[in-house]
């Protein structure tokens, strides 16, 4: 792990920890960070030794959004009818970037919000499976206050997480929620003291990693599919998923360990 990198990566005890490391810029995402974060998320997802992923940040913010000074450009006045007052035009392709990669990951993800998440940072946090927040952390859905929409998943995640009415209220007003309000609204699991956040997130990740990885990943896959399926279709797909799991070494180990009253030792096969 290179400490001066803008995104840090470390694997220990089957848990990959990915850390946004641009504290002097409140972990705003530069163009280089987009590529690095995407690459590291994919690396964790493809690493058979990794069973859970923790995403967090350094400094006082989790992620204050995109670095607009870098990912936007001012159109040159006088060219193609563009005036000095023209709106900033983006030159950034957002399709194959962290929120999309997060959604498609098979490994479970835990977001440890060490500080505030705004804009793109909020969408990225929402893309994780589990969210823990430090006491002083906030989520700022300030998109409409900046003349834009939640561009990286927020309009998809929020109605599903908290229902249409609350999602509409949050997005349309561009409101900022405290950590306690995020738990109350259903956007985070719990709030912990800032000094205990890393340990709490790691504890959840280790608890997940102790279970059968094939079963955990299949459960996540089924949950994701269930978002857009009828109940009958979903039950059928779950049954099809269960058949290969029942033939796995881990399923046998899980049953034997239960009968023998001992901790299971799963191998991911």
21 vs 81, higher pLDDT? 21
Domains of the chain: 7-209 (3.90.226.10), 213-259 (1.10.12)
- Provide the pLDDT confidence category of residue 75 given band limits of 50, 70 and 90: very low
Residue 210 corresponds to which tokens in the numbers above? 């102790």
b/e per residue 32-46 (b: at least 16 CB within 10 A): ebbebbbebbeebbe
pLDDT of 224 strictly over 60: yes
- Indicate whether 61 pLDDT > 70: yes
Q: Supply the mean pLDDT for the chain.
A: 86
| Strand intervals (E) in 163-267 | 176-178, 190-192
CA 135, CA 121: separation in Å to the nearest integer? 17
- Percent of the chain clearing pLDDT 90 (strictly above): 57
pLDDT at 77 (0 to 100) = 52
**How far apart are alpha carbons 226 and 137 in whole angstroms?**
31
Q: pLDDT value at position 110?
A: 98
More confident residue, 87 or 261: 261
Query: How does strand 52-57 pair with strand 109-113?
Result: parallel
pLDDT single digits (tens) 239-250: 888 888 888 888
């Amino acid at each position: 792990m290179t400490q001066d990198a803008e995104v840090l990566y470390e694997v220990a005890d089957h848990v990959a920890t990915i850390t946004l490391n641009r504290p002097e810029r409140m972990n705003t995402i530069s163009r280089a960070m987009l590529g690095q974060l995407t690459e590291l998320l994919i690396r964790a997802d493809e690493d058979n030794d990794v069973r859970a992923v923790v995403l967090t940040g350094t400094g006082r913010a989790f992620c204050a959004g995109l670095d607009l000074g870098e990912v936007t450009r001012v159109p040159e006045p006088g060219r193609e009818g563009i005036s000095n007052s023209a709106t900033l035009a983006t030159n950034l392709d957002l399709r194959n970037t962290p929120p999309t990669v997060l959604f498609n990951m098979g490994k479970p993800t835990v977001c440890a919000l060490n500080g505030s998440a705004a804009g793109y940072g909020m969408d990225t946090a929402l893309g994780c499976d589990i969210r823990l927040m430090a006491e002083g952390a906030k989520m700022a859905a300030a998109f409409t206050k900046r003349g834009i929409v939640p561009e990286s998943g927020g309009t998809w995640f929020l109605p599903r997480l908290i229902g249409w009415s609350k999602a509409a209220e949050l997005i349309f007003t561009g409101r900022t929620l405290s950590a306690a309000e995020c738990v109350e609204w259903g956007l985070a699991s719990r709030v912990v003291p800032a000094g205990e956040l890393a340990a709490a997130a790691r504890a959840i990740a280790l608890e997940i990693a102790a279970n059968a990885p094939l079963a955990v990943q299949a459960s996540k896959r089924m949950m994701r599919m269930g978002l857009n399926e009828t109940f009958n279709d979903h039950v059928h797909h779950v049954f099809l998923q269960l058949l290969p799991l029942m033939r796995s070494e881990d399923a046998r180990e899980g049953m034997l360990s239960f009968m023998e009253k001992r901790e299971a030792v799963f191998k991911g096969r």
